[in-house]
Each structure stands twice: as C-alpha cells, then as structure tokens.
Structure 1
Amino acid sequence: MPSSRFAGSLTTPKLVVAIDMGNPFLNVTVDGFLKVGAVAATRSLAEDAYYAVKRGSVSTRNMEHTLKKMCKEGAYWGTVAGMYVGMEYGMERIRGTRDWKNAMLGGALTGALISAASNKHKDTVVMDAIAGGAIATAATFINYLT
C-alpha cells in the first residue's frame, strides 16, 4: 500500500503589542484585552460577511449592525480575557509560584465575577466559577502537553 509523508514545520504568526502602562499587572491585562478583543471582533466580522454573501446583498444598515456587533463582542471577550490574565498574574504574584493552580484560581475568580455582574442567582455564580476554573485548568494542562 503506497503511503506518503509530510515533512516540515508550521509556525503561527506572533502578534507583539508593546503597550507599557507602567505596571506589569496592567500590561498583561491590557495585552489580554487587546489580543482576545481583536480576535472576537474579527470572528464577528467574518460571521457577518458570510451571511452577507449568503444573502447576496450588503446594506448600510447591515454594515452598521456588523460594526456594533464587532465592538460589543470585542469589548465583552476582551474584558473577560483581560480579567482572566490579570487574575492569573495576580495569583502568580501572591502565591510566588507559577503553576496550574494560578490558572484554576484565576479562571474561577473570573467566572464568578463575570457571572455575578450578569446574573442574580447565587447558584449560577458558583457554577460559572467552577466552569471558569475547570476550563482554565484544562487549557493550561493542554498547553503543557504541546
């Protein structure tokens, strides 16, 4: 049976944003906000572009809706990412060590704060804190594997 192989390497583009806020905590928080916010806004733009092509028309109203959606999604996901990165960095500084526990605690605090700001149910806040901690911990473990 014939077979073939692919040899080579793939590298991802690296975006370096250098904004010095004068404080390392603020630097990582703003960096997380900008990077993830830009990704969320781009995702929203791509999604709306797909629907415009599918409809076969573009209008000023649709473009205004897309712009508003891009800003809203970028601000929301950028805020969540900025909070998480800041919380994880804060945990690292408080605990004096860099390990998966910082991700877990940062994710749990971020999940709880985002949930508390948008929900009034205590059970939902606790569940979102657990989910945030679990997702952040899993992402850290997956990152260790690669």
Structure 2
Amino acid sequence: MPRGGFSGSLRSPKVDVFIDMGDPFLNRTVDGFLKIGAVGACKVAAEETFECLHRGSVSKHRIEHALKNMCKEGAYWGTVAGVYVGMVYGVERVRGRSDWKNATIGGALSGALISGASNNHKHKIIKDAITAGAVATAVEFINYLT
C-alpha cells in the first residue's frame, strides 16, 4: 500500500523534493512528473510575462489565461517525463543492468507510446520512437561526460 510522505531540501542553487509513494517505480515516475512539469510551467510563465511586458498591460483575463496554460503545459511536460522515467526504470529492472541502453529503449518506447496516444499514423509513431530514443541516448551520453 503506497504511503504518502513529503520531504524537501534547499541547497543553492538546487531544489530537491521527494515524495515517497512506497514503490521505487512510482517514486521515480512522480519525481520526473513534478520536476519536468515545473519546468514546463515555468516556461509558460516566462513567455506570458514577456507577452505582458511587451503589450504593456496586465488584465485579469490575461492572468487566468496564463495560469491555465501553465497548468496545461506543466501537466503535459510532466506526463511525458513521468512516462519516460517509468519506462527507463522498467527497462532497467527487466534487463538487470544500468547503462545507456536503458535510456535508448525507454526513450523509444516512450516516444512510441506518446505518439500513439496522439492518434498518429504508423510512420509518425516509428519516427517519434526513433527520435525519442536518439534524444534520450544523447542526453545520457552528455550526462556521462559532465
């Protein structure tokens, strides 16, 4: 039975939040959702702030619109990240190894799943799977170098 818990720490410039769901798979998935979802929401906040500054006006309607977009983008980005992190963890558990191949396979599976959920055609799903696998692999190698 998952148990809820919350802990956090603030060390400049890193903010780390951990929610214990009682299962490593759920912990990683929720962590990915929250962290990348926050990035998506911040992206929209920056864009909307720029737009308000550019127009020179702020209205209640514009703020409501910005908040809706922040939630929508945060949820989308978080969902994509949660699916990816969950896939990588699942592949790691099945393979019994922790290496770059997990990112490649997890990225490809995530790309295919998300593309398929968007009602894309077979060729687009394959292209998205290849792209997501390649991006995940590149990120893994870049993280290894730094």
Structure 2: any 5+ residue segments left out of the alignment? 1-10
1:96 and 2:96 correspond: yes
CA deviation map 1:45-91 (0-9, x unaligned) = 01100010000000111111101100000000000001101111111
1:60 and 2:55 correspond: no
Q: Which moved more, 1:12-21 or 1:46-55?
A: 12-21
What one-letter code is carried by the residue in structure 2 that aligns with 1:134? Answer: A
Q: 2:14: which partner in 1?
A: 14
Offset at 1:15?
2.0
SS at match of 2:109: helix
Q: 2:4: which partner in 1?
A: none
Matches within 5 A, 1:29-108: 29-108=29-108
Offset at 1:26?
0.1
SS at match of 1:15: strand
- TM-score normalised by L of structure 1: 0.90
Task: Figure out how many residues of one structure are paired with residues of the other and give that number.
Answer: 136
Offset at 1:18?
1.7
C-alpha RMSD over aligned residues: 1.2
Structure 1: any 5+ residue segments left out of the alignment? 1-10
Q: 1:24: which partner in 2?
A: 24
CA distance in 2, matches of 1:52, 1:15: 28
CA distance in 2, matches of 1:33, 1:59: 30
CA deviation map 1:14-62 (0-9, x unaligned) = 2221211010000000000000001110110011000100000001111
Q: 2:130: which partner in 1?
A: 130
What one-letter code is carried by the residue in structure 1 that aligns with 2:40? Answer: A
Q: Which moved more, 1:117-126 or 1:130-139?
A: 117-126
Identity of aligned residues (%): 65
CA, structure 1 residues 144+106, in 2 after alignment: closer, same or farther (shift >3 Å)?
same
SS at match of 1:16: strand
